[in-house]
Structure 1
Amino acid sequence: MPIGLIALAIGGFGIGLTEFVIMGLLPEVASDFGVSEATAGWLISGYALSVVVGALALTAAVTRLPRKPVLAALMVLFVAGNALSALAPSYSMMLLGRVVAALCHGAFFGIGAVVAADMVAPNKKAGAIAVMFTGLTAANVLGVPFGTLLGQAAGWRSTFWVISAIGVVALVGILALVPNTGRGTAGADGLRGELRAFRSGQVWLSILVTILGYGGMFGAFTYIAFTLTSVSGFGSATVPWLLMIFGIGLFVGNTLGGKAADRNVDATLLVVLSALTVVLAVFAVTAESPAMAVASLLLMGVFGFATVPGLQMRVMAYASDAPTLASGANIGAFNLGNALGAWIGGVTITAGLGYTSPIWAGAGITALAVVVMAVAAGKARGRAAVDPAPRAGELAEA
């Protein structure tokens, strides 16, 4: 394994911690600022929407620049945003800090995925992307539960100070370990060449699957602390440990999903998204059972994150020789799905449908992702002679 992948994983760990730890601390933050659950949820939705903006605008702005310095600069932005969150005297300033930190998210993972894929042989690209996203899963297995515990014990601001420190470590790691892989886009076409990737219908279908598939999982997960305490009957002190179970599922799903996608992307995504739909529906029905809630939480993590390497690789493959902006756009799509799911979940709670309603909404959104993925896979098979369905070994030729 190229050592540079470790540096990317460290950056992914810090960013993942920023994105997800707020979910475990949402009740504390809402209470501190005196806002409702749905209003506090905008710290998640606002972050996600800002990721979309950063994924498109920042990635487009740096397509001609050397990738390593760009990754380092993005990490500096990340540190600044988290420090602002830690210092925030009001809800609005906290939201601003979240927005600043989020701007680097999409571009970092989008450019980082291309860099990771460039480090390995064509038949190992999905696995390399999965290694980079291991930082994201590690954030959920270890960072989020312990970050939540720290926030509950020493105040939620302490968690964001620790995240800022992790960002500094990640910055040093990137500067020391990530190789110089060249500029984002060579040649005279520059951004125009990157934009041509969006002529592919498969790129758009893949992005739509990302929005719906990820939106379904995070529609269920955004308000999970309220579901576990108010429906399943767990105490608030157990929430960090339950989040660790979810994080273990993410780690397992990311690893297995990357290996499966290296063999067959479309089949993997169809099976995993279908399984996720079933798991969410079962979770919604059985959430009052603590044992079933734990099992569902684990499986939601496994199947939810098993889609990530395949979805990212699929977009990059169909984007052909200009994958940087398409890769960033798909990272934005993950977070647009996050925002969509969080918003719909907040709407269902505000409507008085209870804390299982976001899980039902998530199951419905994921079911739509299965339909879109089936259409995309069918079109890919129909045009196999000229536009073969992507596999890891074909990325260099796609």
Structure 2
Amino acid sequence: MPFALYLLGLAVFAQGTSEFMLSGLLPDIARDMEVSLATAGGLTSAFAVGMVVGAPLMAVLGRHWPRRNALLVFLTAFLLLHVLGAVTTSFGVLLATRFAGALANAGFLAVGLATATDLVRPDAKGRAASVLLGGVTLACVAGVPAGALLGRVWGWRSAFWAVALLSLPALVAILRAVPAGAPGADGVRVRAELRVLRRPRLLFVLLLAALVNGGTFCAFTYLAPVLTGVTGYAPAWIPALLALFGLGSFAGVTLGGRVADTRPLPLLVGGGAALCAGWALFALTAGDRAAALVLVPLQGTLAFAVGSTLITRALYAAAGAPALAGAFATAALNTGAAAGPWAGGAALDAGLGERAPLWTAAVLVALALATAALTPSRVRAPVRTGP
């Protein structure tokens, strides 16, 4: 894999840390900004909405720029918005920086996915995508616990400063190592790229990706309260358990990157069924500490192996959309990231118990499996990966 891919992965690590770190910072932000915890939770929703909206919008905006320039613009904006978020005393300004930062993040990831797949052979898109998505999973392993620790020691603003500082070396590295390249549009008009969305196969893969990732983020968002309230772990264990999930997710992305280009179907069918069964088993055995200790990393592995493989298949299915292929995949991923936690929260509000997010995750993956089973075989057929 080209070294430039790993530099893109460093930037995605910083951005992934920003996306997930609020889970450990919200109480401090609510107290400092003198707002309710529910109001502070709007920061997470603002980021998720910004990611969904920003993926296609920012990809269209940057499609006539050389890709290195687009990456630099998006990452610079992301950095500066985190500096503003670190110094503001206004919750409204902080909320705006989260939304705008998500737009920049979505633009970077969309262009980054397209750039990554252009840097490798046509049949190696899965491995290239796994390097970038590996930055997200490493954020779960190291970035999020580190952000929580910084927030505890020096206050929540220090975590924002850390993300901005972490973005600096990535910015310099991209400037020096990523090829300038041609504009992402590559002579293809926006309308022609958007027409790619009419392809049943692409829509099918995007729907599956949104459902599977919805289940993943539903369970992950409420994993800490399940582990403390149901399993009985002390709060001090939560960072280590979340890191275990992150280690599993990194293993899953790595596995997905190795098979997504050559043998995606066995992983999607077998892994999807195991993922669904795993969330249901986790819900049933959530009161058992030993079972949770095994299932946390196992589910992380399965979730990201299946999810990252679906993202890769979306990139293949969107051939003919050089600027927007990454945007379609990013939007699907973050639609799941926004809808999954909402569904889990709705299940909790309905009084279905603390295990409800795990059951909801199982239902979302089951919906993906049912959709795949009921879809005509001509739509399900894998896209060719070779030239």
**Structure 1-normalised TM-score?**
0.91
Is residue 220 from structure 1 mapped to residue 213 from structure 2 by the alignment? no
Check conservation: 1:113, 1:327, Cα contact below 8 A. yes
Distance 2:290 2:152 in 1: 24
Distance 2:290 2:32 in 1: 31
Is residue 42 from structure 1 mapped to residue 35 from structure 2 by the alignment? no
Match of 1:172 in 2: 172
Match of 2:254 in 1: 255
Is residue 389 from structure 1 mapped to residue 351 from structure 2 by the alignment? no
Match of 2:338 in 1: 339
Q: Which amino acid aligns with 1:74?
A: F
Match of 1:385 in 2: none
Match of 1:353 in 2: 352
Match of 1:9 in 2: 9
Match of 1:384 in 2: none
Shift of 1:245: 0.5
Q: Which runs of structure 2 are paired with 1:85-100 in the superposition (5 Å)?
A: 85-100=85-100
Is residue 194 from structure 1 mapped to residue 180 from structure 2 by the alignment? no
Cα deviation 1:324-383 (Å, max 9, x = unaligned): 3132122011111111111112222233333321121111111111222344582346xx
Shift of 1:292: 1.9
Distance 2:370 2:325 in 1: 22
Shift of 1:148: 1.6
Distance 1:75 1:344 in 2: 31
Q: Which runs of structure 2 are paired with 1:111-150 in the superposition (5 Å)?
A: 111-150=111-150
Distance 1:236 1:323 in 2: 46
Bigger mean CA offset, 122-131 vs 8-17: 122-131
Check conservation: 2:205, 2:313, Cα contact below 8 A. yes
Paired residues in the alignment total 387
Check conservation: 2:75, 2:171, Cα contact below 8 A. yes
Cα deviation 1:153-211 (Å, max 9, x = unaligned): 22222111101111122211111111123111122x42122112112111111111111
Check conservation: 1:52, 1:329, Cα contact below 8 A. no
Distance 2:93 2:345 in 1: 21
Which sections of structure 1, spanning at least 5 residues, go unmatched? 382-387
Residues 229, 85 of structure 1: CA spacing in aligned structure 2 closer, same or farther, 3 A cutoff?
Answer: farther
Q: Which amino acid aligns with 2:109?
A: F
Is residue 268 from structure 1 mapped to residue 261 from structure 2 by the alignment? no
Shift of 1:103: 0.5
Match of 2:282 in 1: 283
Bigger mean CA offset, 172-181 vs 308-317: 308-317
Bigger mean CA offset, 253-262 vs 90-99: 90-99
**Structure 2-normalised TM-score?**
0.93
Cα deviation 1:242-295 (Å, max 9, x = unaligned): 111011001100001111212222332222222211111111122222222222
Distance 2:240 2:261 in 1: 32
Q: Which runs of structure 2 are paired with 1:313-324 in the superposition (5 Å)?
A: 313-324=312-323
Distance 1:39 1:307 in 2: 33
Residues 234, 11 of structure 1: CA spacing in aligned structure 2 closer, same or farther, 3 A cutoff?
Answer: same
Check conservation: 1:72, 1:174, Cα contact below 8 A. yes
Q: Which amino acid aligns with 2:67?
A: R
Cα deviation 1:194-244 (Å, max 9, x = unaligned): 112112111111111111110011111112222222222222222211111
Check conservation: 1:345, 1:357, Cα contact below 8 A. yes
Q: Which runs of structure 2 are paired with 1:44-59 in the superposition (5 Å)?
A: 44-59=44-59
Bigger mean CA offset, 204-213 vs 341-350: 341-350
Shift of 1:40: 4.0
Which sections of structure 2, spanning at least 5 residues, go unmatched? none
Residues 85, 353 of structure 1: CA spacing in aligned structure 2 closer, same or farther, 3 A cutoff?
Answer: farther
Check conservation: 2:200, 2:379, Cα contact below 8 A. no
Cα deviation 1:43-69 (Å, max 9, x = unaligned): 222211110111011111222221110
Cα deviation 1:104-142 (Å, max 9, x = unaligned): 222222211121111112232211111122211211121
Check conservation: 2:13, 2:138, Cα contact below 8 A. yes
Distance 2:375 2:80 in 1: 40
Q: Which amino acid aligns with 2:21?
A: V
Q: RMSD of the TM alignment (CA)? A: 2.1
Cα deviation 1:291-346 (Å, max 9, x = unaligned): 22222211221111112432222122122222431321220111111111111122
Check conservation: 1:219, 1:344, Cα contact below 8 A. yes
Residues 49, 130 of structure 1: CA spacing in aligned structure 2 closer, same or farther, 3 A cutoff?
Answer: same
Q: Which amino acid aligns with 1:341?
A: G
Q: Which amino acid aligns with 2:100?
A: V
SS of match in other structure, 2:120: coil
Check conservation: 1:145, 1:240, Cα contact below 8 A. yes
